[in-house]
Amino acid sequence: SLELRALAGELIGDQPDAWDRAGAIPEDLVRKLAEAGALCAEVPARYGGLGLSSAESGEFTAYVGSRCSSLRSLMTSQGMAAWTIQRLGDRGQRTEFLPRLTSGAVAAVGFSETGAGSDLSTMDTEIRSDGDSVVVDGHKVWVTAADYADLLVVFGRYEGGAAAAVVPATTPGVHVERVPEPMGCRAAGHANIRLDGVRLPAANLLGGAGQSTAMLVTTALAYGRISVAWGCVGILRACLAEVRGHAVSREQFGKPLGEHQLVARHVAELLVAEQSATRACEHASRRWDERSPEMVLATVLAKYVSSRQAADGAASAVQVLASAGARDSHPVARAYRDAKLMEIIEGSNEICQLILSEHVLAGAK
């Protein structure tokens, strides 16, 4: 994973501020990382992947997240698509789709709709079998990476339950339209997707079709959550580095900012935020690597802790840098906008709190 970090570091260089302002990452760079299997680094070697453990992949995700949350978002989407195919797909589907995701294809995952945000049981998108085909009709919103994607994993209603289908983005009836001016992760290619009578081979319908929405989306979301959580660790590390540099070099009232106790408190709180988010993520990744039944809860906990810490920590970083960081696309300004969105996606703070409290209360019954 050190080689992977070197490759990503070299490709990213000092460009994330410019990508944020342009609202796009150069496609050839995305393609190079996809070809190296770096966008979904946990896919096992038998499917052409790098086979990293959750802990190794998490540290790599944090590294990319410390440099560019938009690129890290593409990793989250690609990894979530791969994990969904690995878990729900049969052998043929795993063999067909996973090697594409480790050799250059880019993928996105669509659950959300205009009327179905936190409550995905109200999804309107319909997936139906029709002879040798499946047909998908619906409208997905805010799909990260969709503007770059070759493959879209689309969730919808299916025969009284739910299902997921793998939709090549070039299939007739697929219309992808960029979300204008997202507040953060501006180069992550968020798009709304209209699917009008999209006809696919039956083999593109993933396994588990007809099962409950909760069961199917939880599989995909679990990967998304741990990936976002590690990404937030990266945001905190970037903020800590910016604050450290500024607090020792900038002087006011005759001494470095860091020697003013109220500023020192921000520095200490940022370290606490970075360390507690890291520990929560390491704990969750260990549960993943053991395939422990506790992994789902540990992941929700990590996502909740990390995104809250990142949003608070990024706000403190902007405070400490003040005018030096108050410029659009400066690393702390990006961190501030990007981290706020991490409190909304893959299960908002409130939805995470409900899951955590349900766990506690169920234990009392």
Q: Which residues bind ligand FAD (CB under 6 A)?
A: 77, 109-112, 117-118, 142-144, 182, 185, 190, 341, 344-345, 348, 350-351, 354
Residue 238 or 320: the one with the smaller Cβ distance to ligand FAD is 238
* CA–CA distance, 217 with 162 (Å, rounded to integer): 9
Minimum gap (Å) between residue 182 Cβ and ligand FAD: 6
Residue 49 or 182: the one with the smaller Cβ distance to ligand FAD is 182
Task: Find, among 50, 57, 48, the residue nearest to 98 by Cα.
Answer: 48
Residue 213 or 267: the one with the smaller Cβ distance to ligand FAD is 213
Minimum gap (Å) between residue 178 Cβ and ligand FAD: 13
Residue 211 or 348: the one with the smaller Cβ distance to ligand FAD is 348
Tokens of 280: 């929560």
Contact 308, 363 (CB under 8 A): no
Tokens of 228: 């976002």
Minimum gap (Å) between residue 279 Cβ and ligand FAD: 25
DSSP secondary structure of 194-216 = EEEEEEEEGGGBPTTTTS-HHHH
Minimum gap (Å) between residue 85 Cβ and ligand FAD: 16
Residue 235 or 263: the one with the smaller Cβ distance to ligand FAD is 235
Residue 49 or 347: the one with the smaller Cβ distance to ligand FAD is 347
Bridge partner residues of 133 (DSSP): 130, 201
Residue 224 or 313: the one with the smaller Cβ distance to ligand FAD is 224
* CA–CA distance, 12 with 35 (Å, rounded to integer): 16
Contact 325, 333 (CB under 8 A): yes
Any residues with CB less than 8 A from the CB of 39 and at least 6 apart, and which? Answer: 30, 33, 74, 75, 78, 79, 101, 106
Q: Strand ranges (DSSP E) for the chain?
A: 107-110, 126-130, 133-143, 151-158, 161-168, 174-178, 191-201, 251-252, 255-256
Closest CB to ligand FAD: residue number: 117
Minimum gap (Å) between residue 137 Cβ and ligand FAD: 17
Minimum gap (Å) between residue 227 Cβ and ligand FAD: 11
Minimum gap (Å) between residue 117 Cβ and ligand FAD: 2
Residue 118 or 121: the one with the smaller Cβ distance to ligand FAD is 118
Minimum gap (Å) between residue 186 Cβ and ligand FAD: 9
Q: Strand ranges (DSSP E) for 169-259?
A: 174-178, 191-201, 251-252, 255-256
- Measured CA to CA in angstroms, residue 179 lies from 108, 182, 186, 191 at distances of 14, 7, 10, 5
CA 159 to chain CA mean position, Å: 29
